[in-house]
């Protein structure tokens, strides 16, 4: 079957690969020259380092994503922790959640025992764990309300849950849907101790996406970059393909000043793997009021702000550190994560749900990062900042409120031949890479159902393979 996939982020790549593995004819159209959408990277022209559009983490519970990476032969790019270890620093020094390799959730309990927080916070944390394990799913509640109902006091929230929740759902507990945190807690902390460990990349995210693209194209998939889809074309009441323009690639083309000619890509099925707000203008007027699309305009967006900083010496002595009481919540030593130590030290700072930080001037954001380093690292007194970059992602994730949770659509629509994927669809997960990948794979399964062949991946031997395939498990 001929399928067009719109969008070259994780959802689109996962859908495209799943369909290609099932031997459909897939054309994947991405408006930008680079792949990855909201999880991408570029090569910094000055330092030569990979710079992510914002530091992304995976966890061991990202089963679909890690399996996709394995199938594409890209596990050499993964940099997983042995066991879950998260460190924070505050004015009293560092504290660490260091979980040994015990059966879940004993690993978490052991980590909690060693954490430098008051005993009552540990007991409250235990109570939350029991509520997640044995209590009802908190449908319709905000996370703040769930914390209140499970007896989490201000110290437990400040020291443990709020920083974790912000990182997981990119929204304050007062606004975010409790079910998302609940689901992530279950999948990561309660199943297998390896599910909770953090998985970094050894290179920028764009590099991983290129490897996925190579795998997709190696199996016969067609990938067109710089291709802006302008409309999903109706044909006899179903999705009959897309109208797109190929953006100018060469300066000479730009200099002609001519608008690119719209082209038609006919298809038997279309998978939209773009954000909700980007889908609305592509729909014909007559479809916009349909139940599957009526809520698209209600998806709010939550920003993330990052500061990249290069220092003339090594100041931060860990790969990742929570910065308590600072505007900037986390710092990552990108050099160390990418396998390079010493000067210049490439650091990345991140602020989630950055509603207050995003409108600030670059100089203020860099100042906040510098202040955090001066507060917690004496070596910063001697250090010189060599270069900084500020990256804003105003639409980093959808704003995950309880009301919105009820509106997230599934992969099917009431337009025959049109399917939805993307982190914002009803995956049960927050806006994450894993949610995006699962959504893409689920949309592919729905397309497959049209053929009546049922699910199932064509065995690896069925098509050309990428040259680096066969790496070990992460």
Ligand X SMILES: Cc1cc2nc3c(=O)[nH]c(=O)nc-3n(C[C@H](O)[C@H](O)[C@H](O)COP(=O)(O)OP(=O)(O)OC[C@H]3O[C@@H](n4cnc5c(N)ncnc54)[C@H](O)[C@@H]3O)c2cc1C
DSSP category for residue 196? G
Could you tell me which residues come within 8 angstroms of residue 209 by beta carbon, excluding any fewer than 6 positions away? Answer: 8, 10, 13, 34, 35, 36, 39, 40
**Closer to ligand X by Cβ: residue 8 or 150:** 8
Comparison of 52 and 314: residue with beta carbon closer to ligand X: 52
> Restricting to residues 117-146, which ones interact with ligand X according to CB under 6 A?
none
Q: Is 444 in the site for ligand X (CB under 6 A)?
A: no
**Best CA proximity match to 176, nearest among 306, 42, 348, 300:** 300
Smaller CB separation from ligand X, 57 or 102: 57
Q: Cβ(413)–Cβ(272) under 8 Å?
A: no
- Between 143 and 273, whose beta carbon lies closer to ligand X? 273
Q: Which is nearer to ligand X, 336 or 438 (CB)?
A: 438
319 binds ligand X, rule: CB under 6 A: no
* Nearest residue to 174 via CA among 341, 355, 38, 366: 355
Q: Which two tokens stand for residue 94?
A: 């560092």
Is 9 near ligand X (CB under 6 A)?
A: yes
Q: How many residues bind ligand X (CB under 6 A)?
A: 36
d(CA 153, CA 144): 11
The interface region with ligand X, picked from 51-59, 250-258, 261-269, 466-474 by CB under 6 A, is: 51-59
By CB under 6 A, residue 29 contacts ligand X: yes
Check if the beta carbon of residue 241 is closer than 8 Å to that of residue 233. Answer: yes
Q: Which stretch binds ligand X (CB under 6 A): 6-14, 89-97, 142-150, 382-390?
A: 6-14
The residues that bridge with 77 in the sheet, in sequence order, are none
Options 5, 431, 443, 447; binder of ligand X; rule CB under 6 A: 431
Dihedral sign (CA 322, 323, 327, 330): negative
Q: Does the footprint of ligand X cover residue 328 (CB under 6 A)?
A: no
Residue number, 273 or 326, with CB nearest to ligand X: 273
Give the shortest CB-460-to-ligand X separation in angstroms. Answer: 24
Report, in Å, the least distance between residue 352 CB and ligand X: 8
Report the DSSP beta bridge partners of residue 390. Answer: 307
53 binds ligand X (CB under 6 A): yes
Residue 37 binds to ligand X (criterion: CB under 6 A): yes
**One-character DSSP codes across 53-97:** SS---EETT-HHHHHHHHHTT-GGGEEE-SS-EEEEEETTEEEEE
Contact 446, 419 (CB under 8 A): yes
Q: Please provide the DSSP assignment of 114-174 as one string.
A: TSSS-HHHHHHHHHHHHHHHHS---TT-BHHHHHHHTT--HHHIIIIIHHHHHHHHSS-TT
11 binds ligand X (CB under 6 A): yes
Chain centroid, CA 348 distance in Å: 17
Q: Could you tell me the two tokens for 120?
A: 């009552």
Q: Does 207 bind ligand X (CB under 6 A)?
A: no
**Helix (H, G, I), strand (E, B), or coil: what is residue 344?**
coil
6 binds ligand X (CB under 6 A): yes
Q: Per CB under 6 A, does 169 bind ligand X? A: no
Token look-up 């490897």 returns 211
56 binds ligand X (CB under 6 A): yes
Candidate list 1, 109, 190, 228; residue touching ligand X; CB under 6 A: 228
Q: Which phi and psi (to 5°) does residue 98 adopt?
A: -120, 105
Is residue 163 close enough to count as binding ligand X by CB under 6 A? no
Residue carrying the six token digits 């959504």: 439
Measured distance CA(403)–CA(175) in Å, rounded: 10
> In the window 269-298, what residues touch ligand X (CB under 6 A)?
273-275, 278
DSSP 8-state class, residue 158: I
**Residues within window 343-402 making contact with ligand X, judged by CB under 6 A:** 393, 396-397
Q: Is residue 97 close enough to count as binding ligand X by CB under 6 A?
A: no
Q: What binding mask, one character per residue, do residues 232-271 give for ligand X by CB under 6 A, x or -?
A: ----------------------------------------
Beta bridge partners of 392: 305
Closer CB to ligand X, residue 63 or residue 468?
63
Looking at residues 294 to 313 of the shown chain, list those that interact with ligand X (rule: CB under 6 A): 304, 306
Between the alpha carbon of residue 280 and those of residues 138, 231, 292, 463, the distances in Å are 31, 10, 11, 36
Q: Which is nearer to ligand X, 1 or 278 (CB)?
A: 278
Q: Which stretch binds ligand X (CB under 6 A): 49-57, 135-143, 193-201, 371-379?
A: 49-57
Question: Closer CB to ligand X, residue 8 or residue 344?
Answer: 8
The nearest distance, CB 276 to ligand X, in angstroms, is 10
CA 366 to chain centre: 24
- Output 121 or 282, the one with its CB closest to ligand X: 282
Q: List residues near ligand X by CB under 6 A.
A: 6-12, 29-32, 37-39, 53-54, 56-57, 228-229, 273-275, 278, 304, 306, 393, 396-397, 422-423, 431-434, 436
């Amino acid at each position: 079957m001929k399928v067009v996939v719109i969008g070259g982020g994780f959802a689109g790549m996962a859908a495209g690969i799943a369909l290609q593995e099932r031997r459909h004819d897939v054309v994947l159209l991405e408006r930008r020259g680079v792949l990855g959408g909201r999880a991408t990277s570029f090569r910094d022209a000055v330092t030569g380092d990979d710079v992510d559009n914002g530091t992304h983490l995976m966890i061991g519970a990202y089963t679909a994503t890690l399996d996709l990476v394995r199938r594409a032969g890209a596990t050499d790019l993964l940099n997983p922790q042995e066991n879950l270890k998260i460190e924070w620093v505050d004015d009293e020094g560092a504290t660490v959640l260091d979980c040994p390799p015990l059966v879940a959730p004993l690993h978490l309990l052991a980590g909690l025992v060693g954490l430098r927080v008051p005993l009552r916070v540990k007991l409250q944390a235990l109570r939350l764990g029991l509520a997640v394990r044995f209590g009802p799913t908190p449908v319709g509640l905000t996370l703040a309300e769930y914390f209140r109902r499970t007896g989490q006091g201000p110290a437990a929230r400040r020291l443990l849950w709020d920083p974790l929740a912000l990182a997981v759902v990119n929204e304050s507990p007062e606004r975010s849907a409790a079910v998302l945190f609940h689901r992530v807690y279950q999948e990561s902390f309660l199943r297998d101790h390896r599910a909770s460990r953090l998985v970094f990349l050894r290179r920028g995210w764009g590099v991983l996406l290129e490897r996925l693209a190579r795998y997709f194209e190696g199996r016969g998939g067609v990938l067109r970059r710089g291709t802006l889809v302008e409309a999903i074309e109706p044909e006899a009441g179903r999705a009959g393909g897309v109208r797109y323009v190929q953006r100018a690639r060469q300066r000479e083309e730009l200099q002609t000043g001519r608008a690119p000619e719209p082209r038609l890509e006919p298809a038997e099925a279309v998978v939209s793997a773009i954000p909700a707000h980007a889908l609305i203008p592509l729909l014909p007027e007559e479809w916009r009021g349909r139940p599957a699309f009526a809520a698209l305009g209600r998806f709010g967006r939550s920003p993330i702000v990052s500061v990249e900083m290069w220092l003339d010496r090594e100041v931060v002595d860990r790969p990742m550190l929570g910065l308590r009481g600072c505007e900037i919540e986390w710092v990552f030593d990108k050099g160390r994560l990418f396998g390079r130590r010493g000067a210049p030290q490439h650091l990345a700072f991140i602020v989630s749900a950055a509603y207050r930080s995003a409108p600030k001037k670059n100089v203020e954001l860099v100042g906040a990062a510098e202040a955090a380093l001066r507060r917690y690292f004496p070596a910063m007194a001697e250090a010189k900042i060599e270069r900084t970059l500020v990256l804003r992602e105003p639409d980093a994730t959808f704003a995950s409120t309880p009301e919105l949770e009820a509106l997230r659509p599934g992969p099917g629509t009431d337009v025959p031949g049109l399917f939805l994927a993307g982190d914002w669809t009803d995956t049960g997960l927050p806006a994450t890479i894993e949610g995006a990948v699962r959504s893409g794979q689920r949309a592919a399964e729905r397309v497959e159902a049209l053929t009546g062949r049922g699910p199932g991946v064509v065995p690896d031997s069925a098509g050309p393979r990428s040259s680096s395939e066969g790496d070990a498990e992460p």
